[in-house]
Copies of this chain bind each other. A is one copy, B any other.
Amino acid sequence: MSTNDTREAIMDAARLMVQANGYNALSFREVAKAVGVKSASVHYHFPTKGDLGAALARRYTEELTGYLGGLLALPDSGERWAQYYTDVFRSPLLNDNRMCMAGIMAAEHSDLPSEVRLEVNRFIDANVEWLAAVLSKRAPKADAALIQRQALAIFAAIEGAQLIARGRGDIAAFDQSVEAYRVAGLLP
């Protein structure tokens, strides 16, 4: 197994743990066990837990922005973007009731090393920017500050729907909340 494989295996195992139980529950010894090395070896690839957490969050943001960028390029994305976007936050619930990595890390905010906090903020910013871009497409004459505020609110509301659905262990709570957002007009 090459170096890169071990590093990738560490990130894959760690990602699942964070989305299942949060940054605090991420354990170097457990990651090592899942990968088949010793915990000291995990420290070789990621010197501190903060380094690993920040790397996970950075990759997570990159994956999402890549996907969202593709959506924006679709000719008729204006019609279906809301569905595609909410599905991104629905899918981890389907996968063993997991959560958005940034959402669960936001809850752990004061426990996070600063390098991890920074990546959480970047994830939030990337989502708000994308949502604002979509809203602007749909209403080109709307006030920029108002668009920004609505984008933030949509992101917060979807994260909240995911949080509550997870707390209840009931994905229907997510669907019902999102539907109510749509009815209210918060979500186009």
> Across the interface, do B161 and A149 meet the contact criterion of CB distance under 8 Å?
no
Query: In A31-55, which residues have CB < 8 Å from any B CB?
Result: none
| Separation of A181 and B167 alpha carbons in the complex (Å) | 22
Contacts of A65 in B (CB 8 A): none
> Across the interface, do B152 and A180 meet the contact criterion of CB distance under 8 Å?
yes
Query: In A86-129, which residues have CB < 8 Å from any B CB?
Result: 96-97, 99, 102-111, 117, 120-121, 124
- At the interface with chain B, which of A5-13, A70-78, A169-177? A169-177
- Residues of A in contact, count (CB < 8 Å): 52
Q: Which of A96, A177, A183 has the most chain B CB within a 10 Å cutoff? A: A177
Q: Does A163 contact B (CB under 8 A)?
A: yes
| Separation of A161 and B150 alpha carbons in the complex (Å) | 12
With contacts A25-B24, A160-B156, A177-B152 known, is A106 near B185, CB below 8 A? Answer: no
Chain B proximity mask over A1-36: 1 for CB below 8 Å, otherwise 0: 000000000000000000011101100000000000
| Separation of A151 and B17 alpha carbons in the complex (Å) | 32
**Closest CB of chain B to A29's CB: distance in Å?**
16
Q: Which 10 A-B pairs have the closest CB atoms?
A: A160-B160, A106-B167, A153-B180, A107-B107, A184-B186, A24-B24, A157-B157, A156-B160, A153-B177, A156-B164
Taking Cβ atoms with an 8 Å cutoff, the residues of A that contact B are 20-22, 24-25, 96-97, 99, 102-111, 117, 120-121, 124, 149-150, 152-169, 173, 176-177, 179-181, 183-186
